[in-house]
Amino acid sequence: MSNPELDVVEFLLTTDIYTDRRDLDPDDLPPAYRAVFWTDGEIERPLSATNTTASEATGVERPWAAVSGLMFTDRDDFSGSISFTDRDLAEEWFLDRVDADRIGRNPVLAAAYGEDFGVDYETAHATNRPARADRAFIDAMLEEAFDTDDEDDEEMLDLVDVRAPAEVETTLNDLVLTPDQEGEIQKIVKAIEHRDYLARIGLREIGKLLFVGPPGTGKTSVARALAHDLDLPFVEVKLSMITSQYLGETAKNVEKVFEVAKRLSPCILFMDEFDFVAKTRSSDEHAAIKRAVNTLLKSIDEISLIQDEVLLIGATNHPDQLDSAAWRRFDEIVNFPKPDHGMRADILRIVTRQMDIVDFDPGTLADMTEGLTGSDLRLVLREAVLEALTEERTTLTQQDLEDAIKDFEERDNLKNMDMMDGDHDTLVAGGDFSGDSEGEAASDGGHAHDHDHDD
């Protein structure tokens, strides 16, 4: 349980210690503390602990009221600053009331008091989210690199969606993954951790993944979850946007997308709709657009996880449309099939964790939802919840969910009436992946699926 008094004193101690110790840097400040001190992409000393900064950093609504009864605190009514009248007494009071876990979660405190609690500063520093992953830092880097008053730069920034890891709500624990996909993710995590070793042995062709699978199977969600869990900025671009009439020199803008990624590195660069590359190369598109695609392929060749600290992930709903030039840009192919029975049941369990459902039987629901994607299952649950709300109920029943499945299938049948000649052989988890001859390596790659609604 949160202790407002303790939380505010910790904030005050942290600001004091950080101000005094020049060997500490922004990576040592807990992210919530950093957020209130960024100015133009920098955190300058001295840090000022005020009623406002303390409230924003700790979540305590009235910080001064929380600590005003302590004999070692004072407040300047004019500036609003909160300070210690006796730092030694404050430290003694605080250290008598905290444990090693709390000290270990704050690298500044670990540097000052870690030895007394058996806490290693280096470990605390390594597990703290780095400053480069903060929104304020990302915005400052973009402002430094690109002129938002320049029309070309503004168009380029419209091309990409940059998210701080804290802005990604989905984590890998929220997703249903096959063993194969878990293996691929683990390999990438290890490659990021051991970049120096891989560079030393000359293994640089690693860290370019292609996610393939039908819409709604979670390609975007897995990429974003990786960014969240690895504390990496997430740079997303939809390749079809390079044909937008609002973009100027498309090839130049493609180059700038990679420049953004390198500026924000280490980061994840996610390129959606990768089949657009093959479509453009095989069509009679305008020469400027073809130049842009050629620039894209060249940029992919030149970027590296090992050298540039950029993990490149491409995604496509149509692997059959990719040509050899696209396939050979990636060292791993990760399949996102429609979920099998067991995965559907797991997805339903995860998505309903916060719901109150009477007689909930995910196995039966999985029997009824063959062929549905994770995105479809979320839509089913949304419909069941909304239908119950129309009856003023927040508790659902198994029957509510079964009825929602039937309604979804009816709507889906109507939607697909004009698609009866389409492909009915969509992959399901556990099946084999086959595609272009250049993609045969996919049989050795990972399989993946999640319950989220992206893609």
> Nearest-CA neighbor of 198 among 309, 314, 122, 334?
309
Q: Is residue 38 part of a domain?
A: yes
Task: State how far the Cα of 164 lies from the Cα of 264, in Å rounded to an integer.
Answer: 10
Query: Looking at the structure, do residues 234 and 321 belong to the same domain, yes or no?
Result: yes
Q: Is residue 109 part of a domain?
A: yes
pTM over 0.85: no
Task: State how far the Cα of 371 lies from the Cα of 365, in Å rounded to an integer.
Answer: 12
| Backbone phi and psi for residue 428, each to the nearest 5 degrees, phi listed first | -120, 150
Query: Looking at the structure, do residues 113 and 143 belong to the same domain, yes or no?
Result: no
Query: Looking at the structure, do residues 286 and 385 belong to the same domain, yes or no?
Result: no
Task: State how far the Cα of 392 lies from the Cα of 398, in Å rounded to an integer.
Answer: 17
| Backbone phi and psi for residue 119, each to the nearest 5 degrees, phi listed first | -105, 130
Q: Is residue 369 part of a domain?
A: yes
Query: Looking at the structure, do residues 279 and 226 belong to the same domain, yes or no?
Result: yes
Residues 6+ apart with CB under 8 A from 183: 446
Tell me the two tokens of residue 93.
């009071």
Question: Using an 8 Å Cβ cutoff, are 95 and 113 in contact?
Answer: yes
Looking at residue 262, which CATH number applies to its domain? 3.40.50.300
What DSSP assignment string belongs to 206-217?
--EEEEE--TTS
DSSP code at position 320: G
Tell me the two tokens of residue 376.
């479809």
Query: Looking at the structure, do residues 242 and 347 belong to the same domain, yes or no?
Result: no
Question: Using an 8 Å Cβ cutoff, are 16 and 88 in contact?
Answer: no
Query: Looking at the structure, do residues 94 and 39 belong to the same domain, yes or no?
Result: yes
Task: State how far the Cα of 325 lies from the Cα of 328, in Å rounded to an integer.
Answer: 6
Q: Is residue 105 part of a domain?
A: yes
Query: Looking at the structure, do residues 193 and 307 belong to the same domain, yes or no?
Result: yes
Pairing status of strand 310-316 against strand 267-272 = parallel
Domain containing 259: what range? 135-338
- The residues of the chain scoring below 70 in pLDDT are 1, 148, 151-152, 155-156, 242-249, 278-286, 414-455
How confident is the model at residue 286, as a pLDDT?
Answer: 65
Query: Looking at the structure, do residues 207 and 307 belong to the same domain, yes or no?
Result: yes
What DSSP assignment string belongs to 393-445?
-SEEEHHHHHHHHHHHHHHHHHHTGGGTTS-----BTTS----SGGGGGGGGS
Q: Is residue 444 part of a domain?
A: no
How confident is the model at residue 249, as a pLDDT?
Answer: 64
Query: Looking at the structure, do residues 216 and 348 belong to the same domain, yes or no?
Result: no
Q: Is residue 439 part of a domain?
A: no
Q: Is residue 443 part of a domain?
A: no
Query: Looking at the structure, do residues 201 and 330 belong to the same domain, yes or no?
Result: yes
Query: Looking at the structure, do residues 56 and 164 belong to the same domain, yes or no?
Result: no
Q: Is residue 246 part of a domain?
A: yes
How confident is the model at residue 443, as a pLDDT?
Answer: 32
How confident is the model at residue 145, as a pLDDT?
Answer: 77
Residues 6+ apart with CB under 8 A from 379: 408, 453
How confident is the model at residue 59, as a pLDDT?
Answer: 95
304-337 tens-digit pLDDT: 999 899 999 999 998 888 878 788 889 899 999 9
Question: Using an 8 Å Cβ cutoff, are 101 and 72 in contact?
Answer: no
Phi/psi-derived region of residue 392, left when phi > 0, alpha when psi is between -120 and 50, beta in every other case: left
How confident is the model at residue 203, as a pLDDT?
Answer: 83
How confident is the model at residue 206, as a pLDDT?
Answer: 86
Query: Looking at the structure, do residues 215 and 258 belong to the same domain, yes or no?
Result: yes
4-24 tens-digit pLDDT: 999 999 999 999 999 999 999
Domains contained in the chain, number: 3
